[in-house]
Amino acid sequence: MRWDDLREVTLPPAVPGRLFLMAMPGRQRPLEGDIDKALAVGVTRLVCLVPLDEVAAKSPRYAQALASDELPWPVDLFPIENEHRPRELEPFARFVLELTEALRGGERLLLHCAAGVGRTGTVAACVLVALGLGLEEALDTVRRAGSFPETAEQREVIAWFAERQRQAAAGPSPSPAAESYGPGRQAPEVQGIDLGWPDGY
């Protein structure tokens, strides 16, 4: 599986939308070829997880297309620094839930960061959790599509989001242990779960 391939994530059967993952469009290859790949599978919305200065440095033609609004789809921007977690977690959670609702509404989303691995895998795993998959199943499903969280921070965010969803399903009054949970601290429900993969994957 090539890093620049357009890869599809397996969603629950009841979800009518489709979720695709990719490296940054136009990075080290023609932008037009990436656009053609996305059009061929019926993408309806592009989701960019990269700060615009990083886009400009790594794919100038794509940066130009974003600035001039010349892409054939609407674009959602949620910039996350490379190899880091989102700066604010609640806005991130709302963003994930918006993507989830778009998939439930039948949209076909193309999600990308720079290489299409770490930030992309982090968001995709959270989307799967929001669609009802368990934490380990979500991580495994995204890994099969060629993406995965690359850092401890990214893995902690996925675990945090899974716990947030569990609390939301359980009701409005989280336990003291859950209230104290956040990136850098593991809730009891996720302690001992291996959220990473062998070096060099």
Q: Are 116 and 8 in contact (CB under 8 A)?
A: no
Q: What percent of the chain has pLDDT over 70?
A: 83
Q: How many CB atoms lie within 10 A of CB 56?
A: 15
Q: Give the pair of three-digit tokens for residue 106.
A: 């039948």
pTM, to two decimals: 0.84
**Within 13 Å of residue 80, how many CA atoms lie on the same side as its CB?**
31
Say what the pLDDT of residue 199 is. Answer: 38
- Does position 59 have pLDDT exceeding 60, yes or no? yes
Report the C-alpha gap between 190 and 129 in whole angstroms: 14
Q: Which residues lie below 8 Å from residue 142, measured CB to CB, with a gap of 6+? A: 9, 121, 124, 125, 128, 148
Report the C-alpha gap between 154 and 86 in whole angstroms: 9
- Does position 198 have pLDDT exceeding 70, yes or no? no
CA 87 to chain centre: 15
Q: How many CB atoms lie within 10 A of CB 82?
A: 16
Say what the pLDDT of residue 183 is. Answer: 43
- Does position 185 have pLDDT exceeding 80, yes or no? no
Say what the pLDDT of residue 3 is. Answer: 52
pLDDT digits (tens, 9 = 90+) for 78-137: 999 998 889 999 999 999 999 999 999 999 999 999 999 999 999 999 999 999 999 999
Look over the chain and give the mean of its residue pLDDT values, rounded to a whole number.
87
> What domains are defined for the chain?
7-190 (3.90.190.10)
Say what the pLDDT of residue 74 is. Answer: 97
pLDDT digits (tens, 9 = 90+) for 125-168: 999 999 999 999 999 999 999 999 999 999 999 999 999 999 99
- Between 85 and 188, the more confident residue is 85
Q: Are 162 and 141 in contact (CB under 8 A)?
A: no
Backbone angles phi, psi at 20, to 5 degrees: -120, 150
Q: What average pLDDT does range 184-193 have in this prediction?
A: 39
Say what the pLDDT of residue 173 is. Answer: 58
Q: Give the pair of three-digit tokens for residue 45.
A: 């919305």
Say what the pLDDT of residue 2 is. Answer: 58
Q: Give the pair of three-digit tokens for residue 179.
A: 């209230």
